[in-house]
Structure 1
């Protein structure tokens, strides 16, 4: 959301129910904005005067931030674990990611799931008991 200020971004995260994917508080959110700025992944753009007299800091993602975003999308988009929150977290940003690359990430998830199912089928074909049952 280029040009948004912290409060707008926080409200957007709340509206999109990110709390189910990412644990954050208002304080931690602003701390993380500061960290992203220090790492040059976002930068402050023209400040808008506030009617309340408070400083409003507006941000945009830098080229380095875009590169890091792509790297993280690929990292978490290819992860597949028992509880697959990383991939679902990556899907929150699907509208901002290259559609063809996103389709590749989804296909990767499908392939990994098929492999797991094949391994489970193989295991079930050689045993009549499911471990841990009485």
Structure 2
């Protein structure tokens, strides 16, 4: 059994989810709302110490036609920093429409509009981790 942490990377917020290979079910953890890397990585360091993951997963934002975007480069750089700091394997999952799916999932639970803001990134990270469990791992992150 392995524990995984998944990240929905954004410039303003990073959603985090956790899951284990034994159950294959993602769970929300938190949203890191910090724009400076020192604060972000201090929080990620604490999460890694708490959850002791064996694998990290980063959502790769691609355009609807599957092409890399400016955010793709930032997400890849974020994944490289995770690997460099924590020496844990990092996989990438195509996260196209994960935020829309997260918003729909929250709608279904009765969380709508502005109330979604605090949970949306965490639920998007859950969608990314579910993609990993479903085998949607990218062979290599796009340039």
* Larger Rg belongs to: 1
Indicate the structure with greater strand content.
2
Tell me which of the two structures has the higher relative contact order, counting C-alpha pairs closer than 8 angstroms and 6 or more residues apart: 2
Indicate the structure with greater helix content.
1
Same fold by TM-score greater than 0.5? no
